[in-house]
Each structure stands twice: as structure tokens, then as C-alpha cells.
A and B are shown apart, each in its own frame.
Chain A
Amino acid sequence: MSAPLVEAIGVGKRFGSTVALADARLTVVPGESHALVGRNGAGKSTLVSLLTGLQAPDGGEIRFGGEPAPPLADRDAWRARVACVYQRSTIVPDLTVGENLFINRQPLAGFGRISWKRLRAEGRELLDQWGVEVDVDARAGDLAVEDRQLVEIARALSYGARFIILDEPTAQLDNNEIERLFARMRALQESGVTFLFISHHLQEVYEVCQTVTVLRDARWIITAPVADLPRAALVEAMTGEATALGEGVTESRVGPDVPVRLAVSGLSGDAFTDVSLAVRRGEVLGLAGSSASGKIELAESLVGLRTPSGGSAVLDGEALPFGDVRRALDAGVGCVPRDRHHEGLVPELSVGENSAMTIAGRLGKYGVIAPSRLRAHAERAIADLDIRTEGPGQPVNALSGGNQQKVVMARALATDPRLLVLINPTAGVDVKSKEALLAVVDRIRAGGTSVIIISDELDDLRPCDRVLVMRHGSIADEFPAGWHDHDLVASIEGVTRD
């Protein structure tokens, strides 16, 4: 057996009180494609940041070819050993492919000027060497995603690295593109390149990898040849037992006699087509699916952030206004948007103002915001949601992620909505905040509010009476409360169970 190309031995990392990774191990032998799988928050990205030298482990050791890893500051040494192709491109879109390959190390001619002739020639040579069929003079931003990824791989290889981490490379690709990428991966593998392949799609692991390592809850679970690990066992390793958040709802609490609150029929939009569904009063509906399933676009259409292209939605007998958040709010729809940094909060404004932003017009006469009423509203929200803050006046960006998310929740609840749409409501928050946020769902559903939770986190879906799974813009499956983790995960990941 050959010496391992990369080893992580008992590495751990904590951020404040959060353990991001504990005693993790990984051994990658040369010439294999090694899969790293685990659900969100399992510690994959932390492990990648340790393997690429972006962060130092708190404990344990990283070794390359049997030798200790170089110091963090020696970026060239790291670049010669390992590279990661992230989902987010590290290509400068307005420069040519050739210049991107040689950024900050352009071949020079006399007097230190850049030799464009040599840059093009060497770029072409590099691309040919690794069989990347891309025009060296093309504008990098015009490349298709797969070509862009190949250019990034070629650039990494030109630094000498033969260990490439691919972070969800297939997320933005269609099936044909995925097949082409896999063909390239196999060819590169034969030329001596080793891959660490991260994906949420388990069938891809079976297709292209020889070994798989599973992380769960920041811990190493298992490393095994994929041939020895059937799908059911792999899903089991990823999900483990039911988590500390409890069993959740085991049986639907709303009967067929409860009136329908939201009726969506034939709705089509940016990434979904002809979706129909109904939510009853006090019902909690889960909407799951992969990132490209269209679930977020559907949810954003319901709350006025997007305008659907066809179909209708009726809330308590009245047509839901589309494409206008103000009118949607007035119609009784509340929303926790998908990303609190992007759409949820104004970072410099106070906790109080952020929590009351949806009801600013109701805090006094003629639109004047009475400070006392703002304060009273904010203090009530802080108490209700147990927001840890110095007080309503503190800027919201001084809060922890979990508490920031509670402020977004407070903003959504401020209008006393009849329909509450929660998109990734617990993304990037700790377990305690997660519990508090999900407890809100139970509280307000008891008051008759209907809730739609859009998430692919099982914990988020446990309070649901029913979970719909979306694939490719349509509803593919329906799970009544009491589902098994395996079945739901398999459905979300698009694997047929065998």
C-alpha cells in the first residue's frame, strides 16, 4: 500500500464555545477519488479549511506525503500541495483565461513588462497538458461553470499540487455537464491527480469515488471503500440517530375538517412549474429539496419577493398579491428570508429597529415612530424570543448569529401574520437558538397561524405536520408526520432506496 498523500490525524477546531470539528481523521491515498460527505454543519468545510491551510487545527496534525504541513504563512508551500475548487468562483471574470492562470506570476519579458505572447503560449500549453478544451483568450466570466472549474483545476495543478478538493462541484451543473466533469476527473486521476470530492448527491459518490469518509455532528464517523458501504448504510452514517431536538411531530395535528388557509394552484415561476398545494389553519408544512429544487423560489414568490409567471395563490379566500412585499405583509404573510445577512437585517441599525421594520408605520401617528412604543415592542420581542442583547438600542451586528436570526424572526412575527414562511430558519445557528426558534413555530401554530418551513435540515422539518419534497421545480414526494430520516434524506438527495 502506498504512503498516504494527505493525512489528518485527530484534528479538532472550535470557534468560541462551538465545536466545529473534534478528533477528525482523514487519509487519502494517491490516485484515488475520496468522497467527503455529511449533512450541513457536519464539519466538512472546517476540515477543508484545515486541509488547505486557511486555519490551523487546535489539536491534531495535518501531514502531506508523510511530512508535517508547512506553516500557515507559507502560502506557496500550501499551493504546491493542495488546492480547493470552491462553489464560489475564484476566477477574475473580466480577465482572460490565460491571465487568470498566471495571475501575479505572469511571464515577463525585458524591463519587467508582461510578455503577453509567452503568457498565451504557456497558458495554452498548460490547458493542453491537462486536456482542458478552453480558449486561452476567452473572457473567464463567459465560461460555462464546468469549464471554469477545469480552469481552476489546471491553475492549481500548475502550482504543483496533485491533491485537489472539489467542493460541491456538481451543484450548478446539469446531468450532461456532470457526466463530462466526471470523465475529466477520471482522466486526471489516471494522470496522477487525487481528488477529495464533496457532494450532497450520494449517487455521485458511488459513480466517481473509491473511498468515502462520513462526518456527522463535527465528528468522524466512518471511512470505507464505497463498494463496502451500501446506500442505506451511508445514509444511516450521515443521519445517525434522532438528535437531541427530540422526536418532533409524529402524527398530523390538523384533520381534514380544518379549513384551508392557503391554496396554491398551478403556480409557476423562476425555478418551479405548476406547483399546487394547500395549507390548513394551524398546519405546519415542511418544504424540502436540494438547492436547485425550486423550493426557495416558490417560497419567495409567496411572500412577495418574486413575481410568479403563472398560477394563483389564495389566502383565506383572497388572492395573494405577488411581487410586492408591503402588500403581502398587509395581506397577512410574514417571512424569514433565506439569508439574514443578505435580506434579513440592516447590520448598523439597532435590534429594536430591525425587529420593528415591518411595522414601522404602526408605531405612532402619521408615520412618526414613537420611541416609547418602539422600545416596548422591542422589549417584548427580546423577552418572547429570548434574544441575548444589551437592549433594544444595541446595533444588531453586535449579536451572535443565533440571536441575529431571532431578530429576523421577531421582524416576521411583528405583523401577526396568518401565514408565516420560514426559509432556512436555523441556518448557521447553534443548537440552543435552534430550539428557541423552532419552539416559536409550535407556539404560533397553536394560535391558528399556518407555517411553511423551507429547509433541508431534518431538525427544521421535525415540527411539521407534513413535508413536501421538491425536485426539479415540482413536488415529487409527500411525507406525513412520522417519517423516517432515511426515507426523507433519500428523497431529498434524489436516491431511490434499495
Chain B
Amino acid sequence: MRRLRELALVPALVALIVLGAFVNENFLSYANIISILGSSAALAMVVLAESLILITGKIDLSLESVVGIAPALGALVVIPAASAGFGLELPTAVGLALIVVVGALVGAFNGFLVVKLRLNAFIVSLAMLIVLRGLLVGATKGKTLFDMPEPFFALATTTFLGIPISVWLAAAAFGVAGFFLRYHRLGRALYAIGGNPAAARAAGIRVDRVLLGVFVVAGALSGLGGLIQTGYVGAINANQGANMIFMVMAAAVVGGIAMDGGRGTMSGALTGVLLLGVVTNLLTLAQVSSFWIQSIQGAIILVALMIARVTTGRAQE
């Protein structure tokens, strides 16, 4: 029964795929499936990161800004001043490492404010979202960065067995996180903290330390998501990641991650991501006018939420 709940979205996903196959003959083509997966990989990484935080009963909205600022800083220290960089021209590897480090640092800072100073996670991360967005615009002076060395795009452009590395990476991340959440004591600690922090503490779980760690990991994963996005787009513009958090929250919640903590699985979150990916792809294939695409996307998310509510019989406060 509990297993079934996690898969509540699968019927909706199957229905959409069947519908897609009828609507457009190219939908089930190899190229299109790769396209859906490739375009969903960055979202998947951030949904994974946000899900970890949501399970502990917290929230981090600023992950979407990390998607922009982390790869941008990584690029700015590598590319020459002539291409709008800082002119440091550090080795590419340093720039790539910096992407993950920046994400982790932002997560650590958010975690510090939320866990140690006991500030409200929603407001803190909303403020951080705005600050980081501003930093990205400031650091790039609003310009688009594209003169990065090839490794910055490799995740999206290199393939293994015909599938982009970014998709393999996201799949591996979900696999590891899923295993961790199910079979590792730290993963189980996330559920305990989200379900009842006082009980978790009384059972010897170091609640503050675990929470801080989750924020750091989520930041680093979002940085990676930003790198994938960079490869997929082929550049970093000053808007990278903007408004992405809405899709992230939608995918997580549609996928059964509880907003109030303690519930949700990686397989659920993954179906949430795939559902949104398929919807976006279908709307594009159906050549829906870009003026209308957002409202339709939003409506489909609402319907998916209602389906999930009915099939799981569970309130999603």
C-alpha cells in the first residue's frame, strides 16, 4: 500500500505518454525522448536538492539562484577579461570545482541562518534568492557568458551509449539519493527530523548538524544542476535559473514530497520531474503559442496535484 502511494503519478505519466504518441508521431522517437531527458536533467538535480530539504521540513528557495550564480562564477574566473570575465584566467578544473564549492557555500550560509540563528527558512532563502540574482547580474554586468572552455558544456554535449552524460549524472544522483534515503541512517534521519524533530533529538540524532549538512549538499547539487543547464543552453545569461524554483516545487510536490516534511521518496520526485518534462515537451511539439504555454503548464500542474490527492487519499498541507 505504501509502495503504491509512491507510484501514484505513474498512471498520469502513462496517460500523458499515450496521449503524446497519438498527438504527435515524433513524440516517441528516439531523438525526442533524448530531448525530454536532456532538457529535464538540470531540473532533476535541483528537484533532488530541494526534495532533501523539504523532507527535513525546511525549504530553500534560493537554489534557483545558485543554478545561475555558481556556474557564472566558475566561468568568470576562467574566461579572459575580453569575454567579460574577471581576467584571472584560472585553470578550467578550478572553475569547475568552484561551481560546486559556491553552491555548497551558499547552502552552508542558508543553513547557518536557518539552523543556528533560527530564522525562518522561507524568508531567509527568499532574500538569498534575490541577493544571488542581483550578484549574478552585477558580476556579469548583465551580459551573456559563452566563451567558456569546452568542459563547461561537456555534460550536455558528451554522450555515453547515446545518452547525454547529464542524464546519466542525474540518474546516478537519484539512484544514490534514493538508496541513501532508504537504507542509510543519515537518510532515515532526514525523515525522522521532518516527522518529529524533538523525537529525533531524543533518539540521539544531531538535528542541527544533519540539517546544516543537507543545506550544503543541496547547494552543491544545485551548482551541478547549474553546470548541466549551462551545457544544455550553451551559455550563461544573467537570467539563468530565474523562476525555475516554481517548476522545482511543482515537480517535488506533484511527486509526493510533503511540504511539511517527513514524507516523500526519490522515485516519487523523479516521476514528478518526468511528468513536467513530458508536459513541456508535448506543448512544444503541439506548437502551442509561447504566449499561452505558461498558463497551460500551470493548469496541468494543478490537475496533477488533484490526481495525486485523489489517488493517495492524503492531504498535502
Question: Which A residues form the contact surface with B (CB < 8 A)?
Answer: 303, 305, 324-326, 328-329, 335, 337, 342-349, 353, 357-358, 360-361, 363-364, 367-371, 411
* Contact partner, A337, options B183, B186, B202, Cβ 8 Å: B202
Q: Is B263 a contact partner of A348 (Cβ separation < 8 A)?
A: yes
Cβ of B253 to closest chain A Cβ, rounded Å: 17
Stretch at the interface among B31-39, B189-197, B225-233, B276-284: B189-197
Cross-chain pairs A/B with CB under 8 angstroms, 26 sampled: A305-B201, A305-B202, A325-B204, A329-B204, A335-B202, A337-B202, A342-B196, A343-B198, A343-B201, A344-B202, A345-B199, A346-B191, A346-B195, A346-B196, A349-B191, A357-B192, A357-B199, A358-B203, A358-B204, A361-B185, A364-B183, A367-B184, A367-B185, A368-B184, A368-B185, A369-B184
Residue on A with the closest CB to B193?
Answer: A346
Which chain A positions have C-beta within 8 A of B263?
Answer: 348
Q: Is B186 a contact partner of A325 (Cβ separation < 8 A)?
A: no
Which chain B positions have C-beta within 8 A of A353?
Answer: 188, 192
Q: In the bound complex, how far is the Cα of B188 from the Cα of A361, in angstroms?
A: 11
Question: Which B residues form the contact surface with A (CB < 8 A)?
Answer: 183-186, 188-189, 191-192, 195-196, 198-206, 262-263
Cβ of B302 to closest chain A Cβ, rounded Å: 26
Which chain B positions have C-beta within 8 A of A367?
Answer: 184-186
Known pairs A325-B205, A344-B202 / 10 extra A-B pairs, C-beta < 8 Å: A325-B203, A326-B205, A337-B199, A342-B199, A343-B198, A343-B202, A345-B199, A346-B199, A360-B189, A371-B183
Q: In the bound complex, how far is the Cα of B200 from the Cα of A326, in angstroms?
A: 11
Which chain B positions have C-beta within 8 A of A344?
Answer: 199, 202
Residue on A with the closest CB to B186?
Answer: A367
Q: Is A348 a contact partner of B195 (Cβ separation < 8 A)?
A: yes
Q: In the bound complex, how far is the Cα of B190 from the Cα of A357, in angstroms?
A: 12
Interface centre among B184, B195, B204, B263 (most CB of A within 10 A): B204
Q: Is A368 a contact partner of B183 (Cβ separation < 8 A)?
A: yes
Which chain B positions have C-beta within 8 A of A363?
Answer: 185
Q: Which 3 A-B pairs have the closest CB atoms?
A: A360-B185, A346-B195, A357-B203
Q: Is A357 a contact partner of B183 (Cβ separation < 8 A)?
A: no
Which chain A positions have C-beta within 8 A of B201?
Answer: 305, 325, 343
Q: Is A348 a contact partner of B262 (Cβ separation < 8 A)?
A: yes
Q: Is A369 a contact partner of B200 (Cβ separation < 8 A)?
A: no
Q: In the bound complex, how far is the Cα of B196 from the Cα of A329, in angstroms?
A: 19
Cβ of A186 to closest chain B Cβ, rounded Å: 41
Q: Is A346 a contact partner of B183 (Cβ separation < 8 A)?
A: no
Q: Is A349 a contact partner of B192 (Cβ separation < 8 A)?
A: yes
Residue on B with the closest CB to A340?
Answer: B199
Q: In the bound complex, how far is the Cα of B183 from the Cα of A220, in angstroms?
A: 53
Q: Is A347 a contact partner of B195 (Cβ separation < 8 A)?
A: yes
Q: Is B203 a contact partner of A342 (Cβ separation < 8 A)?
A: no
Residue on A with the closest CB to B201?
Answer: A325
Q: In the bound complex, how far is the Cα of B188 from the Cα of A371, in angstroms?
A: 12
Residue on B with the closest CB to A362?
Answer: B185
Given A360-B185, A360-B189, A367-B186, do A347 and B196 touch, yes or no (CB 8 Å)?
yes
Which chain A positions have C-beta within 8 A of B183?
Answer: 364, 368-371
Q: Is B202 a contact partner of A369 (Cβ separation < 8 A)?
A: no
Cβ of A477 to closest chain B Cβ, rounded Å: 29
Q: In the bound complex, how far is the Cα of B152 from the Cα of A281, in angstroms?
A: 65
Given A305-B201, A357-B205, do A346 and B192 touch, yes or no (CB 8 Å)?
yes
Q: In the bound complex, how far is the Cα of B199 from the Cα of A303, in angstroms?
A: 13
Residue on B with the closest CB to A357?
Answer: B203
Q: Is A325 a contact partner of B185 (Cβ separation < 8 A)?
A: no
Which chain A positions have C-beta within 8 A of B195?
Answer: 346-349
Q: In the bound complex, how far is the Cα of B199 from the Cα of A324, in angstroms?
A: 14
Which chain B positions have C-beta within 8 A of A361?
Answer: 185
Which chain A positions have C-beta within 8 A of B203?
Answer: 325, 357-358, 411
Q: Is B199 a contact partner of A369 (Cβ separation < 8 A)?
A: no
Residue on A with the closest CB to B203?
Answer: A357
Given A360-B185, A369-B183, A371-B183, do A345 and B196 touch, yes or no (CB 8 Å)?
yes
Q: In the bound complex, how far is the Cα of B191 from the Cα of A363, in angstroms?
A: 17
Which chain B positions have C-beta within 8 A of A305?
Answer: 201-202
Which chain B positions have C-beta within 8 A of A345?
Answer: 196, 199
Cβ of A220 to closest chain B Cβ, rounded Å: 38
Q: In the bound complex, how far is the Cα of B196 from the Cα of A343, in angstroms?
A: 7
Q: Is B202 a contact partner of A360 (Cβ separation < 8 A)?
A: no
Which chain A positions have C-beta within 8 A of B185?
Answer: 360-361, 363, 367-369
Q: In the bound complex, how far is the Cα of B204 from the Cα of A341, in angstroms?
A: 17
Which chain B positions have C-beta within 8 A of A328?
Answer: 204
Given A343-B198, A344-B199, A369-B185, do A326 and B206 touch, yes or no (CB 8 Å)?
yes
Q: In the bound complex, how far is the Cα of B205 from the Cα of A28, in angstroms?
A: 52
* Contact partner, A346, options B184, B206, B262, Cβ 8 Å: B262
Residue on B with the closest CB to A305?
Answer: B202
Q: In the bound complex, how far is the Cα of B189 from the Cα of A361, in angstroms?
A: 11
Q: In the bound complex, how far is the Cα of B192 from the Cα of A342, in angstroms?
A: 12
Interface centre among A357, A361, A364 (most CB of B within 10 A): A357
Which chain B positions have C-beta within 8 A of A337?
Answer: 199, 202
Q: In the bound complex, how far is the Cα of B198 from the Cα of A421, in angstroms?
A: 17
Q: Is B204 a contact partner of A326 (Cβ separation < 8 A)?
A: yes
Cβ of B202 to closest chain A Cβ, rounded Å: 4
Q: In the bound complex, how far is the Cα of B199 from the Cα of A325, in angstroms?
A: 11
Residue on A with the closest CB to B189?
Answer: A360
Residue on B with the closest CB to A397?
Answer: B195
